């Protein structure tokens, strides 16, 4: 019997030791990923050498030439032979030193790596020497004996033909135009942190340096000379610290942009223990504060220097030391975040609120009260309406306006649709974002309209005195008293906020999605409530159906630009935040949805955005609450209507069977109303007026349409008082 030939068994491949030069080249590619990484290492070496002046020259994005010259302490002649070997360093001798390392470098890898991927030449002179030495390196070793040469104080390191032996990387880099930009950006960052060092960065052949800073005692001066006046003049100083070993120990100081600063990209210059690093968590946390605090969709400029005990920082978590890991990072991020938030708010207020007498107290979020206001109506309510809060409720565990609401409850996560659609949408949004939305000319035109019509410094400089009645607030401006219509004002403010935040809203998440059709039916019935007839119900249904269909069709646009989210089942589940700390009166949702269907002009872009912004403005405006004001005549509304032995007597209570007077009222309803009115007044004083001072550009028409009415001059009043 013949034996079947066995399947050919593959011999296991032999394991062998890699050639050292291959190992080194692989490692080098990791440390020096881009020309800018080489520049970073070289500049850090110069800083470690106590230089006071560092200049960089770059040719062909760094691929042809990178030259870094400094005036530091130089390198000893005896050290030159091992200078570019791997793991040779003057900065660390035992592992424990890492705990307290102050220098940027410590791995002894940078120069070595450069010699594996480029041609390195070092010229250096130490103090007291008559001449310096020049020597070139390849693959970690000297190519020749150091040659004596004339030299100025310090060290000059030249790298030529970077990545000459890494074809693929060289090719990709040759096609990328931004290597030099990255180098300029890097030097700019160093220049505003190390303000006692002069930096310059120049392209080979260019007459002018792209970064040119001179040593200065003022950080703001440094920022001005590097990033320009437009940045420097819009910065606020910021400081924070903590010294509680059980939570965090750190000191932070820096500068952050204010509300006048406009940029499409965040600039975050972060130094931790003098190391230029990145910290995505902190960056995100601060971006969130900006979105939540400022009206414009501008990204911030942030310079921040954080100092921690060296043993709290692990500097050895990244080969290029780009990232560090911190003890108690989350606590530190949160603390810095809240300081930035309050500084931003205060700076806004102090900038324009010179005459503000009553302090806003943002620590009492309006939402808290709003939740009360949204509590279910008591049974036996006299209101004919079905309380909307039965259908629409905001989630009290998701209080918009508080930081963690933005941080942890990112509504994007709750999209009910299938994830592929979500992905597509978010990529569309990313592509469109900032640039395109800011470029939408119709929105720009609408914003310009506001700017052109700008009037009145009454809004900016008046003092809020109190509410004169349900609609008018009393204001003092210089020596005059004005009545200001808060409904008109808030409507206009909200309208303007929609345009300013266009496509960049945070969201109010409704705890339960509200069916559009029902909302519209409710609104239609409300309109008709006097007739008390059901005969038009079919017609109403038809209208509700059609409007729902229309809104479903427009849902993508509504979500994308206005953060009005309608799910595929025709439910409204999310609304935009127009002013932080403010949630509109949810009782008005049905009216708003009806208005979306009826009043928005969908055809032409500009009209459409305008009418949508107006509809939102009207919805979010601070109308008097639906329940009558119990502090005036409205109190009658809450008196129990009684049949039988309890009778009502023209408002004079009639006590039968010794019933106490207070039992005559619908207490729950009354307290709901009191809360709603108190809440509204709080919002008017602490949200509306402060925000108006910052953001409202009142149109001229407000001077003549009864929005502002001058009621008295204080001088005259004083004269009257004097006569009395
Ligand atoms: P590391 O900075 O991690 O020590 P490097 O490879 O970057 O490793 O540098 C090796 C050593 O070369 C440094 O420890 C330092 O002593 C010396 N050196 C490098 N650049 C300079 C410089 N510009 N001036 C003085 N010494 C330098
Ligand atoms: Mg180094």
pLDDT of 421 > 60? The answer is no
Question: What pLDDT is attached to residue 279?
Answer: 85
- Contact assessment for residue 143 and residue 104, using Cβ atoms and an 8 Å cutoff: no
pLDDT at 693: 80
| Helix residue ranges, H only, 233-322 | 280-293
Ligand 1 atom with minimal separation from the 46 CA:
23
Q: Which ligand 1 atom sits nearest the alpha carbon of residue 68?
A: 23
Q: Minimum-distance ligand to the CA of 316? A: 1
Quick check: CB of 592 below 6 Å from ligand 1?
no
pLDDT for position 363 = 32
Instruction: Provide the pLDDT for residue 678.
Output: 87
* Of residues 532 and 602, more confidently modeled: 602
- The model's pLDDT over 470-524, given as tens digits with 9 standing for 90+, comes to 899 988 887 788 888 999 999 999 999 899 888 888 888 888 889 999 999 988 8
Indicate whether residue 320 lines ligand 1 (CB < 6 A).
no
Instruction: Check: CB of residue 155 under 8 Å from CB of residue 70.
Output: yes
Average pLDDT over residues 533-558: 85
pLDDT band at 391 (very low <50, low <70, confident <90, very high): very low
Q: Which residue has the higher pLDDT, 368 or 547?
A: 547
Residue 195 in this model has a pLDDT that exceeds 90: yes
**Is the shortest distance between the CB of 155 and ligand 1 below 6 Å?**
yes
Overall average pLDDT of the 646-651 stretch: 42
Query: Which residues have CB less than 5 Å away from ligand 2 (the ion)?
Result: 45, 105, 110
More confident residue, 716 or 119: 119
Higher pLDDT, 378 or 293: 293
- Residue 97 is classified by DSSP as G
| Ligand 1 probe mutation, 31, 42, 45, 74, most atoms within 8 A of CB | 45
CA 248 to CA 330: how far, in whole Å?
9
Q: Give residue for tokens 């994007």.
A: 412
Give the pTM. 0.52
Distance 111 CA to ligand 2 centre (A): 7
Residue owning tokens 């408002």? 651
* Rounded Cα distance, 42 and 156, in Å: 10
- Mean pLDDT score across all residues of the chain: 78
How confident is the model at residue 527, as a pLDDT? 77
Residue 431: what pLDDT? 34
Distance 158 CA to ligand 2 centre (A): 15
- pLDDT value, residue 672: 86
Kindly state the average pLDDT of the residues 219-238: 94
Q: DSSP per residue over 593-605, as a string? A: HHHHHHH---SSH
In the structure, what pLDDT confidence band is assigned to residue 394 with cuts at 50, 70 and 90? very low
CA 720 and chain centroid, separation? 52
Q: Which of 24, 44, 46, 48 to mutate to test the pocket of ligand 1 (most atoms within 8 A of CB)?
A: 48
% of the chain exceeding 70 in pLDDT: 74
Residue 129 beta carbon below 6 angstroms from any ligand 1 atom: no
Q: Which range, of 14-23, 71-80, 317-326, 411-420, averages the lowest pLDDT?
A: 411-420
Q: What sign for the dihedral angle of Cα 604, 606, 612, 614?
A: negative
Most confident of 20-29, 451-460, 625-634, 645-654: 625-634
How many angstroms separate the alpha carbon of residue 176 from the centre of ligand 1? 29
89 lines ligand 1 (CB under 6 A): yes
Q: Note the pLDDT of residue 223.
A: 96
pLDDT band at 7 (very low <50, low <70, confident <90, very high): low
User: Scanning the structure block, which residue is given the tokens 């009166």?
Assistant: 585
In total, the chain counts a number of residues equal to 724
Cβ 157 vs Cβ 42: under 8 Å? yes
Q: What is the share, in percent, of the chain residues with pLDDT greater than 90? A: 34
Query: Is the pLDDT confidence value at 349 over 70?
Result: no
Q: Answer whether residue 714 shows pLDDT above 90.
A: no
Q: Which of 153-157, 165-169, 235-239, 710-714 has the lowest mean pLDDT?
A: 710-714
Identify which of 236-240, 279-283, 393-397 has the greatest average pLDDT: 236-240
Q: Per-residue pLDDT tens for 560-570?
A: 899 999 998 89
Least confident of 29-38, 440-449, 693-702: 440-449
Cα→Cα distances 622→139, 200, 208, 491, Å: 73, 55, 56, 7
Give yes or no for residue 2 having a pLDDT over 60: no
pLDDT at residue 429 in the model:
37
Q: Could you tell me if the CB of 41 is within 6 A of ligand 1?
A: yes
pLDDT at 592: 94
Using the predicted structure, report yes or no on whether residue 31 has a pLDDT greater than 50. yes
Separation of alpha carbons 454 and 431, rounded Å: 33
Ligand 1 within 6 A of CB of 551: no
Ligand 1 mean position to 90 CA, how many Å?
A: 7
Res. 254 pLDDT band, cuts 50 70 90: very high
Would the CB of 45 count as within 6 Å of ligand 1? yes
Over residues 186-199, the mean pLDDT reads 97
- Tell me the range of 393-407, 510-524, 686-700 where mean pLDDT is highest: 510-524
In whole angstroms, give the CA distance from residue 64 to residue 61. Answer: 7
**Is ligand 1 within 6 A of the CB of residue 162?**
no
Chain centroid offset of residue 552 CA:
30
- Tokens for 283, please give them: 């960056």
Assigned token pair, 219: 């950080």
What is the pLDDT, as a whole number, of residue 643?
54
Residue range 217-221: mean pLDDT, rounded: 94
The pLDDT assigned to 184 comes to 96
Q: What is the pLDDT of residues 129-169, one digit of tens each?
A: 999 999 999 999 999 999 999 988 999 999 999 998 888 78
Least confident residue range of 414-423, 477-486, 653-662: 414-423
Is residue 193 within 8 A of residue 305, CB to CB? The reply is yes
- What pLDDT does residue 447 have? 64
Cα 227 to middle of ligand 1, angstroms: 29
80, 106, 111, 151: which to mutate for ligand 1, most atoms within 8 A of CB?
Answer: 111
Most confident of 29-38, 102-111, 338-347, 544-553: 544-553
3-class DSSP assignment, residue 367: helix
Between residues 174 and 652, the one the model is more confident about: 174
The more confidently predicted of residues 264 and 2 is 264
Say how far residue 588 (Cα) sits from the centre of its chain.
29
Q: How far, in Å, is the centroid of ligand 1 from the Cα of 48?
A: 8
- pLDDT for res 646: 43
- Note the pLDDT tens digit of each residue in 49-67: 999 999 999 999 999 999 9
**Residue 108: CB within 6 Å of ligand 1?**
yes
Distances 203 to 58, 180, 182, 208, 210 between C-alpha atoms, Å:
5, 8, 12, 8, 8
Band (pLDDT 50/70/90 cuts) for residue 272 is very high
Burial of 658 (0-12, 13-18, 19+ CB in 10 A): exposed
pLDDT band at 364 (very low <50, low <70, confident <90, very high): very low
Q: Which residues face 574 on adjacent strands?
A: 509, 565
User: Can you tell me the distance from the alpha carbon of 124 to that of 135, in angstroms, rounded to the nearest whole number?
Assistant: 9
Q: Taking 90 as the threshold, does the pLDDT of residue 642 lie above it?
A: no
Q: Which two tokens stand for residue 115?
A: 């010699």
Tell whether the model's pLDDT for residue 411 goes beyond 70.
Answer: no
Stronger pLDDT, 554 or 356, i.e. the higher one: 554
Strand partners, 148: 133
CA–CA distance from 302 to each of 188, 189, 260, 290, 351 (Å)? Answer: 13, 11, 14, 11, 19
Contact 124, 151 (CB under 8 A): yes
State pLDDT tens for residues 571-615: 999 999 898 778 898 889 999 999 998 889 888 888 999 999 999
Phi then psi dihedrals of residue 345, to 5 deg = -65, -45
> Which protein residue has the closest C-alpha to ligand 1 atom 11?
89
Q: Whose CA is nearest to atom 23 of ligand 1?
A: 46
* In the predicted structure, residue 23 carries a pLDDT above the cut 50: yes
260-264, 429-433, 660-664, 712-716: which has the minimum mean pLDDT? 429-433
Residue nearest to atom 21 of ligand 1 (CA): 45
Average pLDDT estimate for 669-681? 87
Which ligand gives the minimal distance to the CA of 111? 1
**Any ligand 1 atom below 6 A from CB of 677:** no
């Amino acid at each position: 019997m013949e034996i079947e030939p066995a399947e050919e068994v593959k011999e296991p491949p032999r394991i062998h030791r890699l050639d050292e030069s291959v190992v080194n080249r692989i490692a080098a590619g990791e440390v020096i990923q881009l020309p800018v990484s080489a520049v970073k290492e070289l500049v850090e070496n110069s800083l470690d050498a106590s230089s006071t002046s560092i200049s960089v020259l770059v040719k062909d994005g760094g691929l042809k030439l990178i030259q870094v010259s400094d005036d530091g302490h130089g390198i000893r002649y005896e050290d030159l032979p091992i200078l570019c070997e791997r793991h040779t360093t003057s900065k660390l001798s035992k592992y424990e030193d890492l705990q307290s390392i102050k220098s940027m470098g410590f791995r002894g890898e940078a120069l070595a790596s450069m010699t594996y991927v480029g041609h390195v030449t070092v010229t250096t002179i130490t103090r007291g020497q008559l001449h310096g030495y020049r020597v070139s390196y390849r693959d970690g070793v000297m190519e020749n004996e150091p040659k004596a040469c004339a030299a100025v104080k310090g060290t000059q390191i030249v790298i030529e033909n970077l990545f000459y032996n890494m074809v693929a990387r060289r090719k990709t880099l040759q096609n990328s135009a931004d290597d030099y930009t990255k180098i300029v950006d890097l030097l700019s960052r160093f220049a505003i942190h190390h303000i006692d060092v002069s930096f310059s960065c120049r392209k080979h052949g260019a007459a002018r340096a792209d970064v040119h800073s001179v040593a200065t005692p003022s950080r703001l001066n440094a920022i001005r000379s590097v990033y320009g006046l437009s940045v420097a003049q819009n910065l606020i100083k910021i400081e924070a610290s903590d010294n509680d070993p059980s939570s965090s120990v750190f000191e932070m100081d820096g500068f952050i942009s204010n509300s006048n600063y406009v940029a499409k990209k965040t600039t975050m210059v972060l130094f931790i223990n003098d190391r230029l690093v990145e910290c995505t968590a902190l960056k995100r946390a601060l971006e969130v504060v900006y979105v939540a605090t400022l009206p414009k969709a501008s990204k911030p400029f942030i310079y921040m220097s954080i100092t921690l005990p060296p043993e709290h920082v692990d500097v050895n978590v990244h080969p290029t030391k780009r990232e560090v890991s911190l003890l108690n990072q989350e606590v530190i991020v949160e603390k810095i975040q809240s300081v930035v938030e309050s500084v931003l708010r205060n700076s806004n207020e102090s900038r324009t609120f010179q005459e503000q007498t009553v302090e806003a107290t943002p620590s009492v979020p309006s939402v808290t009260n709003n939740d009360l206001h949204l509590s279910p109506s008591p049974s036996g309510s006299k209101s004919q309406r079905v309380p909307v809060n039965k259908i629409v409720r905001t989630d009290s565990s998701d209080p918009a306006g508080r930081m963690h609401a933005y941080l942890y409850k990112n509504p994007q996560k709750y999209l009910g649709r299938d994830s592929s659609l979500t992905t597509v949408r978010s990529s569309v949004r990313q592509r469109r974002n900032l640039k395109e939305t800011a470029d939408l000319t119709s929105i720009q035109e609408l914003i310009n309209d506001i700017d052109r019509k700008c009037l009145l410094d009454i809004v900016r400089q008046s003092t809020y005195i109190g509410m004169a009645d349900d609609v008018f607030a009393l204001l003092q401006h210089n020596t005059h008293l004005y009545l200001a219509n808060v409904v008109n004002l808030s409507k206009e403010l909200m309208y303007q906020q929609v345009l300013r935040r266009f496509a960049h809203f945070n969201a109010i998440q409704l705890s339960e999605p509200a069916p559009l059709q029902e909302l519209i039916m409710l609104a239609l019935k409300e309109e008709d409530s006097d007739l008390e007839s059901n005969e038009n119900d079919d017609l109403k249904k038809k209208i509700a159906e059609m409007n729902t269909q229309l809104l479903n069709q427009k849902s993508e646009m509504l979500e994308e630009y206005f953060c009005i989210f309608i799910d595929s089942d025709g439910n409204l589940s999310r609304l935009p935040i127009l002013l932080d700390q403010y949630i509109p009166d949810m009782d008005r949702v049905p009216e708003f949805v009806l208005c979306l269907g009826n009043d928005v002009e969908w055809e032409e872009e500009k009209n459409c955005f305008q009418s949508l912004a107006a509809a939102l403005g009207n919805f979010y405006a601070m109308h008097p609450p639906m329940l009558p004001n119990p502090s005036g005549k409205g109190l009658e509304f809450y008196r129990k209507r009684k049949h039988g032995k309890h009778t009502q007597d023209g408002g004079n209570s009639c006590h039968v069977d010794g019933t106490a007077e207070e039992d005559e009222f619908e207490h729950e309803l009354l307290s709901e109303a009191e809360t709603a009115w108190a809440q509204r007044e709080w919002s008017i004083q602490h949200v509306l007026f402060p925000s108006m001072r910052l953001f409202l550009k009142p149109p001229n028409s407000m001077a003549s349409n009864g929005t502002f009415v001058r009621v008295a001059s204080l001088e005259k009043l004083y004269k009257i008082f004097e006569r009395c």
